[in-house]
Amino acid sequence: MSKTWEHFQGAAHHHEQAAYQFKEAAKYHETEELEKAAHHAYLAHGHTRHALHHESAAAKSHLAMSTGLAMPGSGQTANKKSAA
C-alpha cells in the first residue's frame, strides 16, 4: 500500500473520530455538563489536527510520486539523467 493511501486512511479515521467526539460534546453541552463537553471538544480538536497532518502528508507524498522527486529526509534520491 502506498504512503499516500495510508495517509488518506489515517485522515479518514481521524475525521470519523473527530465527528464522534463533536457529537458527544454537543450532547453534554445540551445537558449542561460543561466539563465533559469541553473534554470531548478537546479530543475532537486533537483528532482534527491529526487528520489535517495526514492530509498534508498525503498531498506531499502524492506530489513526490507524481513529479518523481524524493521527499527530504526520505533516503531516496531524485531521478537524474546520466550524462554518459
How many Cβ atoms sit within 10 Å of the Cβ of residue 67? Answer: 10
- Which residue shows C-alpha cell 483528532? 47
DSSP H helices in 3-82: 3-30, 34-67
Please report the pLDDT score of residue 81 as a whole number: 45
Domain boundary assignment for the chain: 3-67
Q: Are 71 and 62 in contact (CB under 8 A)?
A: no
pTM of this structure: 0.72
Residue pLDDT, tens place only, 19-42: 999 999 999 999 999 999 999 999
